[in-house]
Structure 1
Amino acid sequence: MPTLTRPDGTAPHDLHVGRRAAVSMFFAGYAVAALAQDAKPIRTPADGLTIEEALIPNGADKPLPAYVARPAGKGAHAAIIVVNEIFGVHDYIKDVCRRLAALGYVAIAPDFFYRSGVNLPALSDFAQIRPIVAQAGDTQVDGDVRAVTAWLKGQAFAKPGAIGITGFCWGGTVVWRAAIDNPDIKAGVAWYGRLGTVIPRAAALRAPVLGLYAGKDQGIPASDVTAMTEALAKAGKSGSSLRLYPEAEHGFHADYRASYDAAAAKDGWALMLAHFRAHGVA
């Protein structure tokens, strides 16, 4: 059963089963617009984990909702922000959080599209989804990421100096920007995030980023991967690199989609964990 938490800790009435804690803020199920009929997504149990739903102050009229999975019990852990695709926070993103929590991380997935008031994962029409995503501009989203890192630094269960970020598709680009703009981010892993707007900013990277890309991606050309690799080398960003999976398609980690590539996903996941460990997010 999820519980809502506050920046100053959980209040007794937040745990009242008949009220707020009984109703999740997040969509139950997988993004309708991308769910494959024969999908067999990974389902990670919550055994040994604490699953919570937080409301994070971000300066907006309504605070930022976030799904949080972390190891149960006391102790401070490295934290990883999980940034969703264009479909918002649904069961795939929540499962990624639980996978990370099972490995000892605090994993948090903010709902960057909550201001629209639309249950985004329930939409099946891309023509409806894209305008909602477009409303979440770079400045707004980057501010929300800063709000999350500030919140994590105030939690007893999180190590303030060990915060990383990973994201998929739309979220992959958010990772690159966070590694440039947010000094609290120690390392990032971007899964097939568009590179066009961040290639010119490669020299401004504060934190090392591992980019995981698909050779058969119809939206991100291999030339962009090459250009970013060259820009990183020119800027002397030796801690950052890109890995291209030649036979994979966009969304190859998303195990609920037809584009899922188990081999590439497994390899990318291992590289992600190694990248975080190597740069102090552990």
Structure 2
Amino acid sequence: MCHDHDSRPPAPPRSGDVTERGTLTLTAADGNRLSAAYAAPAAEPRAGVVLLPDIRGLHPYYVALAERFAEAGLPAVAIDWFGRTAGIAETGTRAEDFDWQTHIPQTTPAGVDTDTTAAIEYLRSRTRPDLPVVTVGFCFGGSHAWRQSAGPLDLAGTVGFYGRPSLVGDAASGARKPVVMIIAGADTATPVEEQLQLAATMRAAGADVDDVVYEGAPHSFFDRAYGEWAEACQDAWRHVLALTDRVAAG
């Protein structure tokens, strides 16, 4: 189960003022128009985040998560997968009854990367041209974030929550950028052993991999409603922010 329409992300371990929040439309290099959400911190940013959602695309969880990253001092853009096949979201985000099952098979790695590039460019246009950017993805998006460790995108690192190694494929053997893997120990969607093998493959390829398993945690545990996993959520935040702090420091 990916994050549903009513899910909301846990608060980060550090918090500051947010000066801007809202949805917008981005245009990718191939002309695709995609829905997105943006949030900006009051503090001068030293790194930024592109959020890659789960299979449902840009729904309220990721709008809220962009704000949580801004609270942590990181400007963030969350993107939608479905501009090429479903057009932009009429209300800014995908509705609870959006037919993602029809559209998710039509997404491609090339399209994901082109849209990610549009988000990177938007972040830098709002901050500074050399802003280091990290992708942070969940489930379907987590898989693509791990894959992007090997790609040509101008990224400083990648983070994936409960992804699928099968979607990373042969890219794992070319991984170079730093990777964080947040692994749910009781994930019924993808066996933990497969994710740890992926970590070993990327590490052997030369990537700096921080893989952490939360024993007993379910798929999509990074949710403020999962009170029993509150400490795991805070620890996951610490792993993610350790990477963004590291790339911010150069």
Matched, 1:173 2:147: no
Q: Which residue of 1 aligns with 2:96?
A: 122
How far apart are residue 150 of structure 1 and its match?
A: 2.9
How far apart are residue 98 of structure 1 and its match?
A: 0.8
Q: Which residue of 2 aligns with 1:186?
A: 156
Instruction: Return the letter of the residue paired with 1:228.
Output: L
8 Å CA contact 1:55–1:65 kept in 2: the answer is yes
Instruction: Return the letter of the residue paired with 1:247.
Output: G
Q: Which residue of 2 aligns with 1:145?
A: 116
How many residues of Structure 1 are paired with residues of Structure 2 in the alignment?
A: 241
Q: Under a length normalisation based on structure 1, what TM-score does the superposition of the two structures give?
A: 0.74
Structure 2, gaps ≥5 residues long? none
Change (3 A) 1:225 1:156: closer
What CA deviation, in whole Å up to 9, does each residue of 1:83-136 have, x standing for no partner?
Answer: 111122222211111111112211101122233146644217xxx432222222
Q: Distance in 2 between matches of 1:178 and 1:229?
A: 14
How far apart are residue 233 of structure 1 and its match?
A: 3.6
Change (3 A) 1:219 1:260: farther
8 Å CA contact 1:195–1:224 kept in 2: the answer is yes
How far apart are residue 49 of structure 1 and its match?
A: 1.7
Matched, 1:243 2:217: no
Change (3 A) 1:64 1:246: same
Q: Distance in 1 between matches of 2:244 and 2:188?
A: 28
Instruction: Return the letter of the residue paired with 2:122.
Output: W
Instruction: Return the letter of the residue paired with 1:91.
Output: P
Matched, 1:131 2:99: no
Q: Which residue of 2 aligns with 1:261?
A: 229
8 Å CA contact 1:164–1:187 kept in 2: the answer is yes
What CA deviation, in whole Å up to 9, does each residue of 1:238-275 have, x standing for no partner?
Answer: x213111121011011335x698322211111111012
Q: Which residue of 2 aligns with 1:71?
A: 41
- Tell me how large the CA RMSD over aligned residues is: 2.9
8 Å CA contact 1:142–1:177 kept in 2: the answer is no
Change (3 A) 1:231 1:91: same
What CA deviation, in whole Å up to 9, does each residue of 1:209-249 have, x standing for no partner?
Answer: 11001111111112212311321343243x21311112101
Which of the residues 227, 234, 240 maps onto 1:272?
240
Q: Distance in 2 between matches of 1:264 and 1:199?
A: 28
Change (3 A) 1:164 1:42: closer
How far apart are residue 172 of structure 1 and its match?
A: 0.2
8 Å CA contact 2:21–2:39 kept in 1: the answer is yes
- Name the structure, 1 or 2, with higher relative contact order (CA <8 Å, separation 6+): 2
Instruction: Return the letter of the residue paired with 1:131.
Output: T
Q: Distance in 2 between matches of 1:171 and 1:99?
A: 18
Q: Distance in 2 between matches of 1:56 and 1:41?
A: 24
Q: Which residue of 2 aligns with 1:11?
A: none
Structure 1, gaps ≥5 residues long? 1-29
Q: Which residue of 1 aligns with 2:66?
A: 97
Q: Distance in 2 between matches of 1:90 and 1:225?
A: 26
Q: Greater Rg, structure 1 or structure 2?
A: 1
8 Å CA contact 2:40–2:76 kept in 1: the answer is yes
8 Å CA contact 2:46–2:131 kept in 1: the answer is no
Matched, 1:206 2:180: no
Q: Under a length normalisation based on structure 2, what TM-score does the superposition of the two structures give?
A: 0.83
Instruction: Return the letter of the residue paired with 2:120.
Output: T
8 Å CA contact 1:249–1:259 kept in 2: the answer is no
